[in-house]
Structure 1
Amino acid sequence: MKALVLAGGSGTRLRPLTHSSAKQLVPVANKPVLFYGLESIAEAGITEVGLIVNPEAQEIRAAVGDGERFSLNVTYLVQEAPLGLAHAVRVARDFLGDDDFVMYLGDNFVVSGITDLVDAFRAERPDAGILLTKVSDPTAFGVAELNTEGHVVALEEKPAHPRSDLALVGVYLFTPAVHEAVAAITPSARGELEITDALQWLIDHGRTVRSTHITGYWKDTGNASDMLEVNRSVLDTLAARVEGTVDAASELIGPVVVEAGAMVIRSRVEGPVAIGAGTVVQDSRIGPHTSIGPACTVADSSIRYSIVLNNARIEGAGPLCSCLIGRYATVAPAATAPHCLILGDHSEVWLSP
């Protein structure tokens, strides 16, 4: 079995952060969200990965490399334009050959991993396998309709009038049968080749599409609020670890990670919190549910429930809450009311009362 990982999206819902950085590389607990998916694929015993990227994917190529750090062999496949998930399968046709494969959306987060799903698919080998979860707003997702016996009978992409509240999670499993379906469908009204249309083609032609209701935590990290929620969820599993320096005037409460070279000076840190290598936190209050990337400076500030990317500088700012602060961004000085910020890389914000 191979894996097809989609990392070509532009991340419009995470702008301005994604104007200068790939959305799949935004960190969750100081690790890019894409890396969690690649690690799940490796844990499932898959070694051959095709990574779908756009033509300007130098940052992803630099971060992932040849895949050796994940015990994977990564092949880069360029999708010239975002023409749909089924189009990505067309792009990967030569790479996939006649192998079964798992298709994993690179900005999705599945806490429980995919090992059990892959093992079950290998054992039972339906023509396709999909993951479903109940959502409050099905219009934002691909939606599945099941019959009274629980079998998939219809699928629709982002329907205006959903026939169920069961959304497709961004992990799919396929045999080579999907290639016939992908070749047969035409672009939707959105101008994309929809994977839901390919799945519907399989159903209409008597093929087996099996669904699994996901029981663990899943999130599409396509917007800031979901990214912050995933960050919170991962930080909740954190085990305390201090490899940097924490002075006697500081207080660490609960699970806090202080990476090597980081310094905490005269500060109160309420876990779960992750502080990256080389970061300096001074005269500040951090957390809970905050991750601060490497080489940052946080001084005379208060921040919680936030993600701060590498080399950011926060001085005299706060209270800050529910913020997503980009690389090399600067925030200073503080107002008296809480602020929620989404700052792109190299931004500067000066707060006043």
Structure 2
Amino acid sequence: MKGLILAAGRGSRLLPVSATRPKHTVNVAGVPIIVRAVRALREAGAEDIGIVTSSSSETELRDVTLGSGHLTFIRQPEALGTGHAVLCAREFLEGQDTLLYLGDNLFEDSLRPVRAALGEADAVIGVKQVPDPQLFGVAVVEGGLLRGLVEKPSQPAGNLAACGVFAFRPGVLDAVAALEPSVRGEIEFPQALLSVIAAGGRVRAVEFGGFWSDAGTPGDLLRANAHYLSQLTPCMDGTLENSELSGLVVVEPGARVQNSRVTGPVWIGPHAVLRDSEVGPYTSVGRHALLSHTRIQGSMVDDFARVHAPTRLLERSIIGRHAVVGAPSDVGLQLVIGDRSVARL
């Protein structure tokens, strides 16, 4: 079975974080989203993995996946939808069964049940119960079989959201190739499943029970970061100087914690420096980042960021790579700023 990750989109809902890089490269608890996708596919048994990229995203996706084993990068020349992206990979798929992963999704559960369900079906769709189905593509499922799909219905027929993972046999590609563009002008892969059903085929639905996020908005990203931080194994591989750690804390090699208090769950990346600060809970601090005289919680600080906020509490904030934050006053503050931004508040 081949693995295929769709990662050509930049993610407009995640702006400004995604303004200067693909959203799939954003770190969640210290691991890029795209790397988590690769790991999930490999754990499910898909060793030969392709990644569909745009011309602007390929270089950075290659960089962040170094060390993830052999990967094949496939260019999608235009943003014409998920179905079009799959067709761009047709030569790579070589007529084999495929485990398809929409690259901005994050799963706690293994993808193995999706692969296994393909043994008795033409295709498989992953679904998840959600409290707000009107925000998602809603799957209509009867007896474990997909019967319909409705995109963001105003009156949902159920609460099962299509959650960004599929498996399909080679013949499904013919159904994708036969699709007409949607009202958005895109070829939508999930619509091919309805064509399979209409032709008498079987599409199984596999329900996920654990954590799932499409990491599509800053709030989604922060919730995913908090979840994965709580799954870490504590370790202290850096340097601790006159500081206090409590709870689940990971201090990576080369990191220094000086005159600070850290309340887990917290991840402190390699060569990061915390100085005279209070950090956590539910906070990640990227590689080579510097926090000085800062109080921060429930937030994400990316690689090489610089934060000096002596009197304000930073919370529910996302601070991009190489960003600089200075906050000298004493009022609570929330920030979502992109890479290489400068905020002086």
Distance 1:6 1:229 in 2: 22
- Contact 1:157-1:196 within 8 A present in 2 as well: no
How far residue 160 of structure 1 moved from its aligned partner, in angstroms, is 4.0
Alignment match, 1:94: 91
How far residue 196 of structure 1 moved from its aligned partner, in angstroms, is 2.3
- Contact 1:42-1:70 within 8 A present in 2 as well: no
Distance 2:147 2:113 in 1: 24
Alignment match, 1:75: 72
Instruction: Render the CA deviation track for 1:88-141: whole Å, top value 9, x for unaligned.
Output: 1111111112100011011100012313432x135x241000111122332332
Alignment match, 2:124: 129
Distance 2:302 2:61 in 1: 16
Alignment match, 1:213: 207
Instruction: Render the CA deviation track for 1:47-69: whole Å, top value 9, x for unaligned.
Output: 1111100011211122224xxx2
- Contact 1:157-1:194 within 8 A present in 2 as well: no
Distance 1:157 1:334 in 2: 46
Letter in 1 for 2:95: D
Of 80, 100, 103, which aligns to 1:103?
100
Alignment match, 1:61: 62
Of 145, 164, 174, which aligns to 1:180?
174
Question: TM-score, with normalisation over the residues of structure 1?
Answer: 0.94
How far residue 162 of structure 1 moved from its aligned partner, in angstroms, is 2.9
- Contact 2:113-2:206 within 8 A present in 1 as well: no
Give the length in aligned residue pairs: 343
Letter in 2 for 1:103: L
Instruction: Render the CA deviation track for 1:69-98: whole Å, top value 9, x for unaligned.
Output: 234x31111112221111111111111121
Alignment match, 2:133: 138
Distance 2:20 2:219 in 1: 19
Alignment match, 1:34: 34
Letter in 1 for 2:88: V
Alignment match, 1:349: 343
- Contact 2:32-2:64 within 8 A present in 1 as well: no
For structure 2, the residue ranges without an aligned partner over 5 or more in a row are: none
Does structure 1 residue 305 correspond to structure 2 residue 277?
no
Question: TM-score, with normalisation over the residues of structure 2?
Answer: 0.96
Of 280, 284, 293, which aligns to 2:286?
293
Distance 2:74 2:152 in 1: 26
Distance 2:198 2:28 in 1: 40
Letter in 2 for 1:64: T
Q: For residue 191 of structure 2, give the secondary structure of its aligned residue in structure 1.
A: helix
- Contact 2:286-2:304 within 8 A present in 1 as well: yes
Instruction: Render the CA deviation track for 1:9-60: whole Å, top value 9, x for unaligned.
Output: 1111111121111100110111101111101111222211111000112111
Distance 1:293 1:182 in 2: 40
Distance 2:183 2:78 in 1: 16
Letter in 1 for 2:105: N
Distance 1:31 1:152 in 2: 33
Alignment match, 1:196: 190
- Contact 2:255-2:269 within 8 A present in 1 as well: yes
Distance 2:181 2:322 in 1: 41
Distance 2:281 2:155 in 1: 39
- Contact 2:109-2:208 within 8 A present in 1 as well: no
Letter in 1 for 2:330: T
Distance 1:121 1:349 in 2: 50
CA RMSD between the two structures: 1.4
Distance 1:289 1:34 in 2: 21
Of 223, 230, 244, which aligns to 2:217?
223
Distance 1:44 1:188 in 2: 32
- Contact 1:319-1:334 within 8 A present in 2 as well: no
- Contact 2:141-2:205 within 8 A present in 1 as well: no
Does structure 1 residue 170 correspond to structure 2 residue 164?
yes
Alignment match, 1:259: 252
Letter in 2 for 1:132: V
For structure 1, the residue ranges without an aligned partner over 5 or more in a row are: none
Letter in 1 for 2:117: F
Instruction: Render the CA deviation track for 1:290-324: whole Å, top value 9, x for unaligned.
Output: 00001111011100000100010011343000001
- Contact 1:312-1:327 within 8 A present in 2 as well: yes
Instruction: Render the CA deviation track for 1:231-257: whole Å, top value 9, x for unaligned.
Output: 10011112211111101x210001111
Instruction: Render the CA deviation track for 1:195-234: whole Å, top value 9, x for unaligned.
Output: 2211100011100000011111111011110111011001
Letter in 1 for 2:202: T
